Amino acid sequence: MPVRWYSVVIDCQDVVAQADWWSQVLGWPKAYEAEDEVVLIPPHAFTDAYRETPPQERGQGLVFVPVPEGKTVKNRLHLDLAPGPDDDQAAEVQRLLDMGATRADVGQGEDVSWVVLADPEGNEFCVLSARDI
């Protein structure tokens, strides 16, 4: 039987600030908070229907843990965020910039359909064009 992808762990220097920022970005509440770890999960994970979903079919959470060092090189793994089918990619990018994201150049070129940004601690992520799935 294959293993289940449970969460993505994000190393950071300020666990609470990073978790709060990503909570606002995604609209995900905190499921667990301690000095050395904060866990965010999708809002539907708090519903009865989610609890009845087989574990292998459940979505992943984000876990923020402290590390002493700052980020120094491009991420080897990043998150892709997608606006809904009726949402505007440029408006979402601006919302994230207004929240403290910065534009990032990871060699993507100018002819791509996504925008590369970095969170307040420099972790790159992409904002894709609007998607319905």
Q: Where are the alpha helices (DSSP H) in the chain?
A: 15-26, 48-52, 89-98
pTM of the model: 0.90
> For 85-113, what is the mean pLDDT?
95
Contact 64, 19 (CB under 8 A): yes
3-class DSSP state of 11? strand
C-beta of residue 45 within 8 angstroms of C-beta of residue 58: yes
* Cβ neighbours around 125 below 10 Å, total: 20
What is the 8-class DSSP label of residue 85?
A: T
Domain 78-133 sits in CATH at 3.10.180.10
pLDDT tens sequence across 52-76: 888 777 788 999 999 999 888 998 8
Confidence of residue 1 (pLDDT cuts 50, 70, 90): low
The maximal CA–CA distance of the chain, rounded, in angstroms, is: 45
Check if 1-69 and 78-133 are the same fold.
no
Look at residue 117 in the predicted model and tell me its pLDDT. 97
Q: Where are the domains of the chain?
A: 1-69, 78-133
Q: Is the pLDDT of residue 3 over 70?
A: yes
CATH 3.30.720.120 fits 1-69, yes or no: yes
